[in-house]
Structure 1
Amino acid sequence: MMRLRAATVLATLTVVTLPLIPVQWLALRLKGGLKRSLPVVWHRIACRTVGIRVREIGKPARERPLLIVANHVSWLDITVLGSRMPLSFVAKTEVASWPVFGLFAKLQRSVFVDRQRRSATGRTAEELGTRLASGDAMVLFAEGTSNSGNEVLPFRSALIGAARHALAGDDGEMWIQPLALAYTHLHGLPMGRQFRPHVAWYGDMEMVPHFMNVVRQGAVDVAVVWGEPIRVRPDMDRKTLTRLLEDEVRRLAGNVRAGHPPAGPELPPAAPAADVPAEAGEPAILKAAENG
């Protein structure tokens, strides 16, 4: 039965995906909002087909420019978040060369960053700043890697600071919204620490076997928790800002894993945005990249 389910899921995704690839490829070369909205349709179909049920708590910010800073658990995160709203992602350069997934990342209009070469941060920040200024909501997995889903790893500050500086030539402000992902149930039962590797993809796990296991099993529940957006000024210290975002994402993810968030589908609307205390002498993009 599990093999039959896997075959059915893969066949359905293939039938849906093949006609949409040339449409999205053409949309990327034309003006209009189709290139933003079409991936949302695909991700929603994929979630339903695979058996991923998303519970959204809180709401994404309407303000722009908007950078969304999230924890990273699995390759599933892309489909889960992509099903919520038009988004693009900041991805490591290796993803661009992956079979199938690399093509999807390009069609999603991802910004690729070489994390091994700090000298490339300035170029990535410029591209990221251009996309943010154009109104695209961008997602940055600030841990720099995925993890077991039982924790949130320390956030890296370089790209957060670089993205902020890339927008300094506009109105000098941007919005950053913390977001927590937590995979909570498998086949309707609380997942628990020992079962989270079913969906968590990290370490030296191979992609294809992990992907096929998720497809065969299905029936995954995930919570997407939106934190309060932060109005960011050009003079804010990037490391202070990064610590604030890391602490908030860790708190949100920990609460939902422990079953503490409200039982309803959404939290009340977010309170007015918080400000982060400024610290003098914040370095420019390249120096921020060097300090990592």
Structure 2
Amino acid sequence: LIFICLLICFLISGFFIHLFTKDLERRKRRFSVHGTFWCRFCCRLFRIKVIVKNQPQEDKPGLLVGNHLGFIDLLACASVQPNLFVTSREMRETPVLGLITEMAGCIYVERRSRSNILKELGEMIDYLRKGFRVVLYPEATSTNGEGVFPFKRTLMTAAAHAGVPIIPYVFNFREINGEPGFQLKYRDSVCWYGDISFVQAIWNAFSLKSLVCEVEFLSPVYTKTDDDRAVVADAVREMIVAKFNPVDKTERF
């Protein structure tokens, strides 16, 4: 019930931003700040503590690239500073989720169409050149916490074309319900994967008593347009893998 009330307030305030901000660039900026405000409020309300390490300067543009476990890492990352998140057009067409992503200022991509994805790559480049921070999840899906999936490479080239760095970051769970680490028994409460619905994922996560997570920014990676994109993607992924703490499958008694 509390989440539904928050969602309604988020959508109403987002509607007024949309209504009274005609300039598209200004609207995106306001939506990104709007998203950060509500994500911070949500974290406080549901006892989610976000530890931030090595936070980059907020006024510096860059392509943020991180691992993806579900909506909690979205919430955490958005609470740190205003960003534009890249998500799928399929998400835009999903009831409720489409409205949420629209009011948060997301950039939509169609990964299954080469012609469309090149056009949308251009949109990402444009926002980066205008000074926005753009968040990309190159795994292209959320995972079950056992590892980091291979990266999709095309959209990562936006950084080189825009002349901004790739800023890798790693998201980890540090404590769940007062218990240290990322224990297997809590996986379905914090990860959104497989057949778990959005509603169930929300319910599972917000039923927890407390949560401590960490967003650690790693060294920026500067690339050029003629760099091998496979090499770049693999190098960035390895940086994240080296810092990621997967779900602990050890049985505890």
| TM score, norm. by length of structure 2 | 0.87
Aligned residue for 2:167, secondary structure, equals strand
- 1:26 corresponding residue in structure 2: 19
- 2:187 corresponding residue in structure 1: 196
- 1:17 corresponding residue in structure 2: 10
Q: Residues 242 and 175 of structure 1: is their aligned pair in 2 closer, same or farther, counting only changes over 3 Å?
A: same
- How far off is 1:103 after superposition? 0.9
- Structure 2 contact 160–222 (Cα < 8 Å) conserved: no
Name which of 195, 198, 207 aligns with 2:198: 207
Q: Any runs of at least 4 consecutive aligned residues in structure 1 with deviations exceeding 3 A, and if so which?
A: 30-36, 61-65
Q: Which has the larger radius of gyration?
A: 1
Name which of 90, 97, 101 aligns with 2:93: 97
Indicate whether 1:55 and 2:48 are aligned.
Answer: no
Aligned residues: 244
- Structure 1 contact 144–156 (Cα < 8 Å) conserved: yes
Which deviations, in whole Å up to 9, do the C-alpha atoms of 1:153-184 show, x marking residues without a partner? 111112112x14643xxxxx321010111123
Which deviations, in whole Å up to 9, do the C-alpha atoms of 1:128-176 show, x marking residues without a partner? 1111111110000011111012311111112112x14643xxxxx3210
> What amino acid is the match of 2:234?
R
Find the aligned partners of 1:214 and 1:223 in 2 and give their Cα distance: 16
Q: Residues 132 and 42 of structure 1: is their aligned pair in 2 closer, same or farther, counting only changes over 3 Å?
A: same
Q: Residues 218 and 128 of structure 1: is their aligned pair in 2 closer, same or farther, counting only changes over 3 Å?
A: farther
- Structure 2 contact 11–99 (Cα < 8 Å) conserved: no
Find the aligned partners of 2:8 and 2:116 in 1 and give their Cα distance: 38
Instruction: Work out the percentage of aligned pairs sharing the same amino acid.
Output: 25
Find the aligned partners of 1:14 and 1:101 in 2 and give their Cα distance: 11
Q: Residues 135 and 226 of structure 1: is their aligned pair in 2 closer, same or farther, counting only changes over 3 Å?
A: same
- 1:88 corresponding residue in structure 2: 84
Q: CA RMSD in A?
A: 2.3
Q: Residues 27 and 60 of structure 1: is their aligned pair in 2 closer, same or farther, counting only changes over 3 Å?
A: farther
- 1:266 corresponding residue in structure 2: none
- Pairs within 5 Å for 1:3-14: 7=1, 9-10=2-3, 12-14=5-7
- 2:251 corresponding residue in structure 1: none
- Structure 2 contact 161–225 (Cα < 8 Å) conserved: no
Aligned residue for 2:152, secondary structure, equals coil
Find the aligned partners of 2:63 and 2:123 in 1 and give their Cα distance: 13
Which deviations, in whole Å up to 9, do the C-alpha atoms of 1:53-87 show, x marking residues without a partner? 11111112557441011110002222111110010
Deviates more, 1:148-157 or 1:242-251: 148-157
- How far off is 1:235 after superposition? 2.3
Deviates more, 1:17-26 or 1:51-60: 17-26
Name which of 148, 154, 160 aligns with 2:156: 160
Q: Residues 48 and 253 of structure 1: is their aligned pair in 2 closer, same or farther, counting only changes over 3 Å?
A: same
Q: Residues 34 and 65 of structure 1: is their aligned pair in 2 closer, same or farther, counting only changes over 3 Å?
A: closer
- How far off is 1:23 after superposition? 3.0
- Pairs within 5 Å for 1:132-281: 132-161=128-157, 163-164=158-159, 166-167=161-162, 173-190=163-180, 191-254=182-245
Gaps of at least 5 residues in structure 2 are 249-253
Q: Residues 144 and 210 of structure 1: is their aligned pair in 2 closer, same or farther, counting only changes over 3 Å?
A: same
